[in-house]
Amino acid sequence: KAGVTQTPRYLIKTRGQQVTLSCSPISGHRSVSWYQQTPGQGLQFLFEYFSETQRNKGNFPGRFSGRQFSNSRSEMNVSTLELGDSALYLCASSLAGGSASGNTIYFGEGSWLTVV
């Protein structure tokens, strides 16, 4: 089956702009979570959506937002981009329950964002 698909794969934005990243989870998966990965901070949890509702949120400013659609596809948006937002943004999906329920979390290949 198709894996987690993220688009775009690479993008360059200017400070102050906003960006929208898209994630299509594996068919049947209803949980979608987003992570930011940087060399300095590693992988950091942004938020998780389940059935169009945000179920968990990490410690990121309000400039970072997301949403999930009825087909489980998800988007995340970063407004007023800063240089420090340059990172690999990863989307992950799983079945309804958490990973401790035995549901494996599958990551996409990520979207590389460079802010100049």
Partner 1 sequence: SQKIEQNSEALNIQEGKTATLTCNYTNYSPAYLQWYRQDPGRGPVFLLLIRENEKEKRKERLKVTFDTTLKQSLFHITASQPADSATYLCALDPSGSGGYNKLIFGAGTRLAVHP
**Of residues 20 and 58, the one with the C-beta less far from partner 1:** 58
**Of residues 111 and 115, the one with the C-beta less far from partner 1:** 111
**Of residues 3 and 16, the one with the C-beta less far from partner 1:** 3
Q: What are the φ and ψ backbone dihedral angles of 83, each rounded to 5 degrees?
A: -55, -35
Query: In a 10 Å sphere around its CB, with 0-12 CB exposed, 13-18 middle and 19+ buried, how is residue 45 labelled?
Result: middle
Q: Which residues bind partner 1 (CB under 8 A)?
A: 4, 31, 33, 35, 42-45, 48, 50, 55-56, 58, 90, 92, 94, 97-102, 104-110
Q: How far is the CB of 2 from partner 1 (least distance, A)?
A: 14
Q: How far is CA 24 from the centre of its chain?
A: 10
Q: How far is the CB of 14 from partner 1 (least distance, A)?
A: 24
Q: How far is the CB of 70 from partner 1 (least distance, A)?
A: 19
Task: Provide, for the chain, the percentages of residues in helix, strand and coil under a 3-state DSSP scheme, each rounded to the nearest 5.
Answer: 5, 50, 45
**Of residues 14 and 53, the one with the C-beta less far from partner 1:** 53
Nearest to 91 by CA among 110, 65, 114: 110
